[in-house]
Amino acid sequence: MLLTENALKVLEKRYFRKDENGIIIEDWSKMLTRVAFNIAAGDEEKAKRFFTLMDSGYFLPNSPTLMNAGGDLQQLSACFVLPIEDSMESIFETVKNAALIHKSGGGTGFSFSRLREANARVRSTNGVSSGPLSFLKVFNAATDAVKQGGTRRGANMAILNVDHPQILDFITCKENPAELTNFNISVGITEEFMQAVANDNEYNLISPHTGKVNKKLKARDVFSLIVQMAHKNGEPGIVFLDRINYANPTPELGKIESTNPCGEQPLLPYEACNLGSINLALLNKDGDIDWDKLKEVVYDSVDFLDAVIDVSRYPLPQIDAMSKANRKIGLGVMGWADLLFQLKIPYASEKAVDLGAKLMEFIDYYAKERSVELAKVRGHFPNFTKSIYSQGSLKREKNSQDWDHLKEKIKKEGIRNATLTTIAPTGTISMIADTSSGIEPQFSLAYIKNVMDGEKLIYVNKYFQKALEERGIFSKELVEEILASGSLSGIDVIPQDIKTIFQTAHEISPEWHIRMQAAFQKYTDNAVSKTINFSNSATVEDIRLSYELAYQLGCKGVTVYRDGSRDNQVLYLGTLATIEEGKEKKVAPRTRPEITQGITRRMETGCGHMYVTINSDSQGACEVFIQMGKVGGCASAQLEAIARLVSLALRSQIKIEPIIRQLKGIRCQSPMWNKGKMITSCGDAVGQALEQFLTLFSNGDINSVDFQVEGDKSDSDRPKGNGFALCPDCGNTIEHLEGCLICPSCGWSKC
């Protein structure tokens, strides 16, 4: 495979082996040789086949396999689910086990639903329980203390059932973005709850330790709170637990209560996920999919992933036993958006959705067919007789494949793997393969990336560049214009048919995101990792309708992200034109207009009367002036410094909420009560004044459109451009894809 400069940089930083001095001792060929021969367990012919499969670029396994195969660690799975029972012994045993998994490079999922609610009676001590949220913080702190494989923090998923007595506290537990930073959270949704939402009924909250009704809540109120929080910062997600368990291949072994951190792999306690992805972008053949080649790749990929199970060294004996008893694998895809570019099919179209379903049905069918053949030679998975397969009840809707024939074949001959398909995040392996991630649309068609010695290069999607070159319109100036505008829509020189085909994530409506997820889910054993992208201007109602559509179309879960909704991630707004050529990324504050309008609020502080003036321009709050009685000298200078820095931040498109959080609560030696509220310092007073300004607008008490703040504008007044987060490793912009933050330049990933 021809490696791009970007792919090589990712490989050298994260995958190639290094000696004790940090010197790279591996290249692409040596890495693949190490992996292929390790997975083949000494079978030379199989090792050559696995090497060719990966070197061709048609398939890559998940990162732990590429990193750890053939090494001392030999932990080849990405994610795990651990049980938590309602006892102190179980809770802290799971904390210990999670630490061992994180140390080996894995991520963990947990259900906290079995833990009794806060203040419930604990008979053994005659005390009361502190509840699941307090222990969630314990798990979060433990994750902080353990670096994953010596390189990064571990990722976690926390799920709480919607009928748990503390569900309202759970839904809002990440309202402060500084809390629970090592966890994604999702609410476990039941069919009963969704019916109660539809009928506007109450539903029961059940105490886990007694099984009795704790109280009742209006289902729509709870659903509305989930939606409001998802609109605010993207969490919690929702997981349709009843739907997941309907597809559980081994229901006799227990209910599935949790997933891995990105949500695509529902697992029983102590199961692990072993994943890999096919690069669809390489399967274009004369304007169609090369179905014969795809079948061949599916067969080889199933062989590879099944072999991983046997050579992997699991961090716990319980995981080793469960993984080998059910032999679950998850074959997925990447490069879907790039394949659509080549086929000239818009992502947001019926044709794309129909093709997605047909493609995934093909992969799922032939993955199972290959697993049956493996079962004939090597035996079916040990728990086969406890599975739905032994009863011939594989749940698949017939489209273009003969599922009835395959069901009977499986029932008669057995199958090697309890699950075979998963659409997983492919953040870094898709960078290595130089293709789009998973089934996500491309996040952007062009971006700037750092290379050696601080030089910056413009990266353009190769299929987009080819389309422009074929029309004779590709140029550096055009690419710079695309970077400046962040969209193709306003660029007249680009033909409309190219604009229609080369759609990016923020140009595709949430409805089409969800319809694509549902199309692939229809023929996926496990689940689909996908982010439903919303513009910053999306309303709470937009997200509500999307959640309801995902439920109606058969998705197993939903993750949404409203652009710019996470203060700790979005460090500046605007387009990439704000990056100065050849310099570090900087944000230029917008110019102050000649006339602004605002309000002045008097605050009582320990230093005297303070007057805080907050002015707005057409884009929102833009400046702050602070005056303090007759005080002068250092105090006056410091107040002026606060005002100038806050004004600079506001005009640089920093949202007002994080500024408030930074200022509120600062304490000095002279606190003062002001209209029933404690003013702890002059800085705290400024923070409270900004908060009151925000409240006035939210309540509609400020009538002028000039008093709008970022995050609360009408579409017509909203500044144009996407939101960007910055990578902590290389400083480039981060994409929010597949439920995780991923840097397209260096391969850094939050998960």
Contact 554, 518 (CB under 8 A): yes
* Residue 557 structure tokens: 């879960």
* Residue 414 structure tokens: 């057995």
Beta bridge partners of 740: 737
Contact 742, 440 (CB under 8 A): no
Q: Is 248 a catalytic residue?
A: no
* Residue 592 structure tokens: 């102050």
- The DSSP result for 635-691, as a single string, is HHHHHHHHHHHHHHHHHTT--HHHHHHHHTT---S--EEETTEEE-SHHHHHHHHHH
Q: What length is written for the chain?
A: 751
Q: How far is CA 676 from CA 45, 161, 601, 603, 605, in A?
A: 79, 39, 16, 12, 13
Q: Distance between CA 395 and CA 556 in Å, rounded?
A: 15
Nearest of 502, 491, 508 to residue 546 by alpha carbon: 508
Active-site position among 260, 461, 722, 732: 260
Q: How far is CA 160 from CA 132, 238, 740, in A?
A: 9, 10, 20
Compute the radius of gyration of the chain from its Cα atoms. Answer: 27
Torsion-angle region of 493 (φ positive above 0: left; ψ -120 to 50: alpha; else: beta):
alpha
Which residues, in sequence order, are CB contacts of 1 under 8 Å at separation 6+? 28, 54, 55, 56, 57, 433
Q: Is 260 a catalytic residue?
A: yes
The SS3 of residue 427 is helix
Vertex 178: Cα angle to 172 and 181 (nearest 5)? 85
Q: How far is CA 165 from the centre of its chain?
A: 27
Q: Distance between CA 293 and CA 736 in Å, rounded?
A: 32
Q: Distance between CA 728 and CA 719 in Å, rounded?
A: 26
Nearest of 196, 231, 238 to residue 217 by alpha carbon: 196
Active-site position among 264, 440, 623, 738: 264
Nearest of 312, 332, 237, 331 to residue 272 by alpha carbon: 312
Beta strands in 434-580 (DSSP E): 446-450, 456-460, 531-534, 557-562, 570-573
Active-site position among 68, 156, 235, 262: 262
Q: Is 668 a catalytic residue?
A: no
Q: How far is CA 411 from the centre of its chain?
A: 37
Which residues, in sequence order, are CB contacts of 202 under 8 Å at separation 6+? 196, 216, 217, 218, 219
In what helix (H) or strand (E) does residue 412 lie, and over which residues does it extend? Answer: helix 403-413
Quick one: DSSP state of residue 18? B
In what helix (H) or strand (E) does residue 204 lie, and over which residues does it extend? Answer: strand 202-206
- Annotated active-site positions, please? 260, 262, 264
